[in-house]
Homo-oligomer: A and B are copies of this chain.
């Protein structure tokens, strides 16, 4: 039932989002036969962050378009990741702040027991702050869900 040390899906998603050169992490994910994608989104509206990640996940076939079960798993992983980014209220522009984020989505099998099946991890890294250039600090988030 344990998390396998070599297949920590959350750690993988964070290292992927943090890497300037993503080739090493991408290679590891490929070796594990997992799926992933990365992208960027900047917005004052939280729903645009959600939409950008959902679109990337569908376009890159990380989740199956039209299968609600998978969208539901992804949605909750995104919102959990946004909790780390926003730290209290999942709000951006309505609290006069904006984000510039990179994201990574990884889908794989982090547990040794094969019956644990597939899980999805959504990581976010970037800046949050006032809508003024430079008036911002770093922020991170991670959501993990069974899929």
Contacts and interface: CB of A to CB of B under 8 A. Distances in A.
Given A89-B89, A138-B9, A50 B84 contact: no
A143 B3 CA distance: 26
User: Chain A binding site: helix, strand, loop or mixed by DSSP?
Assistant: mixed
Given A10-B139, A136-B3, A138-B10, A90 B95 contact: yes
Contact of A47 (B2, B85, B96): B96
A51 B60 CA distance: 39
Interface in A105-133: 110-111, 113, 115-117, 119, 121, 123, 125, 127, 129-130, 132-133
Interface residues of A, number: 69
Given A1-B135, A8-B138, A80 B87 contact: yes
B69 A116 contact: yes
Contact of A134 (B1, B88, B119): B1
Contact of A121 (B72, B80, B138, B143): B138
A142 B47 CA distance: 22
A139 B144 contact: yes
Interface in A21-54: 45-47, 50-51, 54
